[in-house]
Chain A
């Protein structure tokens, strides 16, 4: 008996395992588990080198360059990052609303509120837009850091900070591309409840990117 079989009654050629779970969903959870290890290794590196930079700029403290006398202000901009964190949290809400809209596509929508909540195109678009806005915040932050004298080669803080947040930003970018393809499919032929697993897998990835940022925001930005 094979480990997986094609479940012929399922409309989207779903591949179920012996547990009755779709292979793709098992795969995305296994992938997310491996991604946990990747991000914890990056966070570990950041924490190990935290406070060990010989020269500034520093994340939370002012530093004066002894050779030039130039004063470097604390580099992190908490209000801007708080705003981008809020945007990413809201994107997770939009994502679950998109998934719920796809799952309940066939249900009748009587009120205006139900029609809005059931509009998967709207919520997928809002999620992609929030992800793009987050990336815009990150581009602004990186650019301002470089202008203020912090590059990836400047000190240990710069190296670990740009590597960690850069990897996260790359994941957000991949998520936005993924969301855009789903949105294109939804516009082209419409996503129905039979496609809910496609959206579910994308949503799991997107929420994972969100939880990674929850940890980064606290450990990198808020803890002094």
Chain B
């Protein structure tokens, strides 16, 4: 296609990166406080024997860990503000890897499906 260099440059201008402003310094500090509090809650839960023995221990820790993971990815890695392609590039392989992990856990008998 015959497109002049200047026109082509304009066509490919980095609009996606300009559109979304990153969080402010105060947001970063708040996120750090939240991450610290979640970590404290996780370690605290580890030292409560009755809670460790209960059914809620593993799901609680997994949820808290997933929450921290999501917060860092969304706010510190700016995935919440950046182009959709970056979300696809990150979440696609992560989804495949997570499904593979679950499949392996079933295969090796760490997880069980209740059939009737």
Interface residues of A (CB under 8 A from B): 1, 4-5, 7-10, 14, 16-22, 25-26, 29-30, 32-34, 36-37, 39-41, 43-44, 47-48, 50, 78, 82, 85-86, 89-90, 92-93, 95-97, 99-100, 103, 117, 203-204, 207-208, 210-211, 214-215, 217-219, 222-224
Interface residues of B (CB under 8 A from A): 1, 3, 5, 8-9, 12-17, 22, 25, 28-29, 31-32, 35-36, 39, 42-43, 45-46, 52, 58, 61-62, 64-65, 68-69, 72-73, 76-77, 83, 85-86, 89-90, 92-94, 96-98, 100-101, 104-105, 108, 110
A48–B28 CB distance below 8 A? no
Chain A to chain B: the 6 pairs with minimum beta-carbon distance, closest first: A40-B97, A33-B93, A218-B65, A29-B89, A93-B32, A16-B12
Q: How far in angstroms is the closest Cβ of chain B from A115?
A: 13
Give the nearest-CB partner of B24 in chain A: A100
Give the nearest-CB partner of B10 in chain A: A9
B69–A222 CB distance below 8 A? no
A48–B104 CB distance below 8 A? yes
Option from B36, B85, B86, B100 in Cβ contact (under 8 Å) with A44: B100
B9–A9 CB distance below 8 A? yes
Instruction: For the complex, give the distance between the alpha carbons of A167 and B80 in Å.
Output: 28
Option from B8, B94, B101 in Cβ contact (under 8 Å) with A43: B101
Instruction: For the complex, give the distance between the alpha carbons of A29 and B90 in Å.
Output: 6
B96–A37 CB distance below 8 A? yes
- With contacts A19-B16, A40-B101, A93-B32 known, is A211 near B85, CB below 8 A? no
- Chain A residues near B28: list those with CB within 8 A: 93, 96-97, 100
A89–B104 CB distance below 8 A? no
* 14 A-B pairs (CB sep. < 8 Å): A10-B14, A16-B13, A21-B16, A26-B85, A33-B92, A40-B98, A47-B101, A48-B110, A89-B32, A97-B28, A117-B25, A203-B76, A211-B72, A222-B46
- With contacts A21-B85, A29-B86 known, is A223 near B61, CB below 8 A? yes
Give the nearest-CB partner of A16 in chain B: B12
Option from B5, B85, B90 in Cβ contact (under 8 Å) with A36: B90
Q: How far in angstroms is the closest Cβ of chain B from A205?
A: 10
Give the nearest-CB partner of A95 in chain B: B76
Give the nearest-CB partner of A99 in chain B: B22
- Chain A residues near B14: list those with CB within 8 A: 7, 10, 14, 16, 20-22
